[in-house]
């Protein structure tokens, strides 16, 4: 596998397996002089950490991040930043069964078909433990964005669990950090708790929809034709485990609209253009408009469920498999901080690309 790196100028390479001694990220291209510490990164890792409530896997991982290089006297030096997280609570015996059986919905079968040799413990490299490394790298991106674009915020939240959507009329930004589902709708959080408790007791799981909004993104990030901001955002989200669909702004719902509904009309405000709506999700022609950048994605229900499922063995025998190990009943919850991290990396990457090409020069309006 040689494709463990993403980004153009802000480049993140992740490494490690679920049950190996450690995993981490190498972040290359962080601008020098950015104030960043292990404590700064830990804040973001703690949001993704397992075992924080009964709605996430009970694997106990401190997810303590160590910075091994690229930061000196509290500031980035411009050289590669090596981030390491030790694995502490592996229970590999739970996975002995899957050495020879392929778990439905998991990457066991495709990794075997492709490589013919795999670390099956906890799913190895295909496990979402890898996303801890992304969150650590996203913390570096956030530190750089805070220094370069003060006021830019990136917030992820769950907008749907199973068939149950939030009510946008109850959307409250302050509510997001107050409930275990990272949802802006307090009523939905209550309803989802009951639904997920029932599913969890049944050993079942459910899918979800997550939205990420980046506010304060300057106009002009992204490039034609193969360097579109939306292309890179979609790829970043699609690379997260269990993601099966990604959309920007109106997304798939745009297909049902008419041109009159969908056109985001433009007026001139005191500080530049003002848009009457944001069906475009803050991106036109691959370039940010200065409006909120909105990306949304669907995750499938957790594949590891307690109901026996039919499968095959490595030698082709038909068999059944029952999940052991500890699992997230709705992976959407812990996908929220991961998605924020990916958005931070992509937006910083495009900020650096834009500085490189245009030096921040802009077409004047007014
Ligand atoms: C944060 C996060 C946590 C996850 N936890 C689990 C889990 O506990 N059990 C599980 O079966 N899948 C879990 N997944 C999903 C699997 O990693 C994923 O479905 C599997 O590797 C196959 O990849 P694919 O679904 O992207 O095709 C999680 C995904 C994310 C984003």
Nearest-angstrom CA–CA distance, 284 and 268: 18
Residue 181, both tokens: 């589902």
- Both structure tokens of 364: 């004047």
Rounded Cα distance, 17 and 132, in Å: 11
H or E element that contains 165: strand 164-165
Q: 332 C-alpha vs ligand 1 centroid, how far in Å?
A: 9
Residues with CB under 6 A from ligand 1: 57, 106-107, 123, 126-128, 131, 240-242, 300, 302-304, 327-328, 331, 334-335, 338
User: Where does the pLDDT of residue 60 fall: very low under 50, low under 70, confident under 90, or very high at 90 and above?
Assistant: confident
Ligand 1 atom with least separation from CA of 300: 25
**How far does residue 4's CA lie from ligand 1's centre (Å)?**
17
CA distance 39 to 24: 16
| Average of per-residue pLDDT across 5-22 | 96
Strand segments, DSSP code E, in 270-339 are 272-275, 283-284, 287-288, 293-299, 309-312, 318-321
Average pLDDT of the chain?
94
C-alpha 12/C-alpha 24 separation (Å) is 10
CB half-sphere exposure, 83, CA atoms < 13 A: 32
Ligand 1 centre to CA of 184 (Å) is 24
- Taking the CA of residue 242 as reference, the ligand 1 atom at the shortest distance is 25
Confidence at 92, pLDDT banded by 50, 70, 90: low
pLDDT in tens, 133-158: 999 999 999 999 999 999 999 999 99
Mean pLDDT of 281-297: 98
Residues 6 or more apart from 224 whose CB is under 8 A from it? Answer: 285, 286, 287
CA-57 nearest atom, ligand 1: 8
**Residue 219 confidence (pLDDT) above 70:** yes
CA of 208 to the centre of ligand 1 (A): 12
Q: So what's the pLDDT on residue 322?
A: 85
Classify 11 as helix, strand or coil.
strand
19, two tokens: 């049950």
On whether the CB atoms of residues 152 and 215 are closer than 8 A, the answer is yes
φ, ψ at 29 (rounded to 5°)? 100, 10
Least Cα distance to 77 among 136, 35, 139, 25 occurs for 35
Range scoring the smallest mean pLDDT among 60-74, 79-93, 247-261, 283-297? 79-93
Answer for the pair 268, 274: CB distance below 8 angstroms, yes or no.
Answer: yes
């Amino acid at each position: 596998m040689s494709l463990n790196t993403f980004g153009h100028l802000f480049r993140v390479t992740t490494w490690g397996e679920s049950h190996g001694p450690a995993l981490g990220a190498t972040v290359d291209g962080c601008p020098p002089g950015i104030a960043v510490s292990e404590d700064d990164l830990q804040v973001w890792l703690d949001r993704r950490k397992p075992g924080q409530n009964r709605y996430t896997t009970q694997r106990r991982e401190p997810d303590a991040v160590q910075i091994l290089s690229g930061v000196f006297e509290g500031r980035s030096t411009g050289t590669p930043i090596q981030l390491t997280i030790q694995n502490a609570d592996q229970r590999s015996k739970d996975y002995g069964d899957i050495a020879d059986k392929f778990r439905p919905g998991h990457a066991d079968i495709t990794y075997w078909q492709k490589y013919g040799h795999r670390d099956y413990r906890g799913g190895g490299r295909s496990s979402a433990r890898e996303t801890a490394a992304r969150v650590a790298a996203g913390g570096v991106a956030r530190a750089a964005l805070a220094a370069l674009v003060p006021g830019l915020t990136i917030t992820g939240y769950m907008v749907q669990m199973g068939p149950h959507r939030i009510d946008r009329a109850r959307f409250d930004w302050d509510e997001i950090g107050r409930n275990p589902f990272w949802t802006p709708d307090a009523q939905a959080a209550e309803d989802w708790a009951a639904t997920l408790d029932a599913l969890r007791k049944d050993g079942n799981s459910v899918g979800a929809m997550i939205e990420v909004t980046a506010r304060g993104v300057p106009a002009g990030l992204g490039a034609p034709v193969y360097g579109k901001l939306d292309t890179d955002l979609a790829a970043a989200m699609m690379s997260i485990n269990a993601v099966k669909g990604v959309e920007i702004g109106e997304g798939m719902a745009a297909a049902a609209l008419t041109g009159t509904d969908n056109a985001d009309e433009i007026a001139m405000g005191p500080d530049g253009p003002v848009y009457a709506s944001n069906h475009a999700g803050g991106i036109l022609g691959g370039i940010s408009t200065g409006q909120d950048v909105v990306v949304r994605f669907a995750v499938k229900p957790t594949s590891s469920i307690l109901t026996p499922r039919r499968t095959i063995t490595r030698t082709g025998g038909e068999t059944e498999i029952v999940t052991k190990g500890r699992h997230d009943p709705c992976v959407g919850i812990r996908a929220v901080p991961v998605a924020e991290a990916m958005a931070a990396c992509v937006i910083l990457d495009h900020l650096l690309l834009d500085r490189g090409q245009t030096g921040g020069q802009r077409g004047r309006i007014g």
